[in-house]
Chain A
Amino acid sequence: MKRDRLTPIERFAAYHRGEPLDRLPCVPIVGNTAARVLGVKVSQFRGNGSLIAEAQVAAYHRFGYDVIRIFTDLYTQAEAMGAKVHYPEDETAYLAEPAITSANAIDSLRPANPYKDGNLPHHLAAMEQAFQAIGKEVPVTGALTGPFTTASFLIGTENLVRLMLKNPAAVHQLCEIAYQSALVYAEAILDTGCTPSLTDALCSTTVISPKQFKEFGQPYLQRLMDFIHGRGRTATLHICGKTAPIWEAMADTGADCLSLDNAADLEAAMLKVGHRVRLMGNVPPSEIMLQGAPVQVRKAVRACVRKAHHNPQGLVVASGCSLPVETPFANIDAMLDAVREIGWPVDDEPLEMELAT
C-alpha cells in the first residue's frame, strides 16, 4: 500500500488551497476504541486525562488518520452539571439519571466550571497533553456536546421532548443554561490549543421535527459557532440519525463541516449544501465497521468517495458516527487503505464502473 506523503495538517492545508494531495482526508472516528490500542480498560479513562491523551495519540500513530478527537462519551458536560453517569468496567459510559426531573428545578442548575466540575478538567488535561505532543502534525479536537442534547441529559429525554410542546419557555431556559456551560467549556478547549468538535445527537429528525430543530437546536449551535469563529477557528457539527430535512439549517449554524450519519445520503447532501460546507461521512459504524470485513469496508469507502468527492467544499471520508469500542483494527486499517488506494486525483471511472456491476 502507498505510504502517506503528507501529514494531516499539511493535507488539510493543501486541500483547502486546492493543491494536489496524496489522498483524501480520512477519519474513522475513534473514541473508546483507543483503549484497545493501549490495552487498557475503558473505565481507566475516567478521571485520567493523561491516559486518554496517551491512548488517542497511540491510536493516531497506529492507524494514521487525520483528526484526533478527545472523546469518551457525550455526557461529560451534563455530568459536570449534576447528571449521574454510570461507568461500566470496560464499555462506554451511559446516563444513569438526569440532573433534574421537572421544569420547576431548572432554576437550581448552574453552568459547569470546566476547571472544577465532573470530568471536564481531566478532558481538558487530555486535550492539552495531546495538543502539546502532536498538535503540529495532526488537528486535535475536543468533543463538545450541543446544548439541546445536554439539556436532554439534564432533564431526561422524554421530559424534554414533552416540554417542547407543553412549555417551550422552560426548554429555552434549560438550553440557555446548557449553552452557557458549553460556551465556557468551548473557551477552555480553545485555550488548550484544540478546536471544539460539536455533536448534537438529539437534534436528529429521527427524534425532533425540522421546525423544532430550528427553534431549540440551531440558535444555540449558531452562537457557539460564532464564538469559535471569533477565535479564528473552524468547527465540525455532527448530528446522528436522519438529518436530510435540516441540512440547510445545519449549514446556517455556520458550521464549516457537517459530519453525517450513515442514515444520510452524501450525494443528496452534496447537492443541497456542498457549496457551503465540507462534508464528512459516512461509512456505517456498526453494520460495516464493527460487523463487516475489510472487503466490505473498502466497498463502503469507495461508495462514499464516488458520491461526494466532487463536493465543492470538500469531503472527509469518515465513519458515520463514533466507532464502537470493539471495532476490529483490520477494518480501521482497511478504511485508510481504501482511501490510499483511491489516491489523488480521484479517478471517477473505476468507481462508476463498480456502481454498474
Chain B
Amino acid sequence: MTGQPEELFHALSDAVVGMEEDRVRELATRAVDTGIDALAAIDRGLVAGMNRAGKLFESEEYFIPELLLCSDAMYVGLDILRPHVKHDAKQIRQKVVIGVVEGDTHDIGKNLVKIMLEASGFEIVDLGRDIPAQRFVDVAVSENARVIALSTLMTTTMDAMADVIQLLQKANLRDRFKVIVGGGPISQSFADHIGADGYAAGAPAAVKLVKKLVGEAV
C-alpha cells in the first residue's frame, strides 16, 4: 500500500466483499490518519464493496449469511469514517421508514433491504419488527420520510400492510409517502391490490424501486 487514495478505496471495497471486519477497521483508520476524504472512502470503498456483494447475492454466489457479514464489515468502516465526513459534504438524504408489520417477527429480509438502501445513500429509520400500522404512519410524519417500506414473511400478516395504506388515506396523507411492500408471500398483484406504490422481490431490486419512486437516477 503506497497510501494512494484509489488503492485504499479498492482495498476497502475488497475487504467488505471479503467479509473482513479487521481489515476494514485497519483501512478505515488509515484513511482517517492520512487525511483521505472520508466521504470518498465511504462511497468508493465501503459502499462500492457492498454493491459488489449485492451483485454476488443477485447472481447466487453469495447468500444471506455472506451478505450479512459483508454488511457487518461495512458498518465497522462507517462507524470509523462517518464522524470525519466534512459537514458541508453531508447531503440531505431521503428518508425511508422501514419495519416488519404487526404479528410477524421475521426480520432478515427487512434488514437486508435496510442495509442495501443505507449503502445506496438513503437515511433509514428502522422501526424493527411486529410494528402496529399506526406507528409506521406516525413515524413517517414525524421524520418527514419519503418512503414507507413494509415487510412480512407470513401470509397471516399480509393484511396489516393494507391497514397502513388505509390509515394514510384516512388521514389524507397518502400522497405524501411512497409505500413499498415485500416479503415471501407478497407479489406485485398483492401490491396492486392493496394500493401500494411498489413491490420488489429482493433487496437489490428494492433499492432500484425506491430510487425510481423518489425520482433518483438508477
Contacts and interface: CB of A to CB of B under 8 A. Distances in A.
Interface of A: 86, 88, 91-92, 94-96, 157-158, 161-162, 164-166, 205-209, 212, 240-241, 245, 285-287, 290-291, 324-326
A325 B156 CA distance: 7
B123 interface: no
Contact of A287 (B19, B157, B190): B190
A212 B63 contact: yes
Contact of B103 (A94, A165, A209): A94
Given A207-B63, A286-B158, A95 B105 contact: yes
B154 interface: yes
Question: Chain A contact residues: over half helix, strand or loop, or mixed?
Answer: mixed
Contacts of A291: 189-190, 193
B184 A158 contact: no
Contacts of B186: 286
Contact of A324 (B65, B66, B155, B193): B155
A33 to B, nearest CB: 11
B66 A94 contact: no
Contact of B155 (A165, A206, A209, A290): A290
B154 A94 contact: yes
15 contacts: A86-B105, A91-B156, A94-B154, A157-B108, A158-B68, A162-B65, A205-B63, A206-B64, A241-B184, A285-B185, A286-B155, A286-B158, A286-B186, A286-B187, A286-B190
B216 interface: no
A165 B156 contact: no
Given A161-B64, A285-B185, A287-B190, A96 B105 contact: yes
B120 interface: no
Interface centre among A94, A165, A290 (most CB of B within 10 A): A94
Nearest to B19: A165
A208 B64 contact: yes
Contacts of A91: 103, 156-157
A35 to B, nearest CB: 12
Contacts of A287: 185, 187, 189-190
A205 B158 CA distance: 23
Interface of B: 19, 60, 62-66, 68-69, 72, 103-106, 108, 111, 154-158, 184-187, 189-190, 193
A208 B63 contact: yes
B63 A158 contact: no
Nearest to A42: B156
Contacts of B103: 88, 91, 94
Contacts of A212: 63, 65
A229 B51 CA distance: 46
A157 B112 CA distance: 13
Across the A-B interface, the 7 shortest Cβ-Cβ residue pairs: A324-B155, A286-B185, A161-B65, A209-B63, A91-B156, A286-B155, A92-B156
A326 to B, nearest CB: 8
Contacts of B157: 91
A28 to B, nearest CB: 14
Nearest to A97: B105
B105 A165 contact: no
Contacts of B154: 92, 94
A169 to B, nearest CB: 16
A88 B193 CA distance: 26
Contacts of A240: 184
A95 B100 CA distance: 13
Given A165-B19, A245-B60, A326-B156, 5 more contacts: A94-B106, A207-B64, A209-B63, A212-B63, A286-B158
A83 B197 CA distance: 37
A206 B203 CA distance: 12
Contacts of A245: 60
B151 to A, nearest CB: 14
Contacts of B108: 157-158, 161, 207
Nearest to A284: B187
Contacts of A290: 155, 185
Contact of A208 (B65, B104, B106): B65
A161 B156 contact: no
Nearest to B202: A206
A110 B193 CA distance: 46
A166 B22 CA distance: 13
A73 B67 CA distance: 28
Contacts of A157: 106, 108
B190 A165 contact: no
A162 B69 contact: yes
B65 A165 contact: yes
A193 B190 CA distance: 41
Contact of A161 (B68, B104, B184): B68
Given A88-B103, A157-B108, A241-B184, A162 B63 contact: no
B113 to A, nearest CB: 14
A134 B186 CA distance: 36
Given A205-B60, A209-B63, A162 B155 contact: no
A245 B158 CA distance: 29
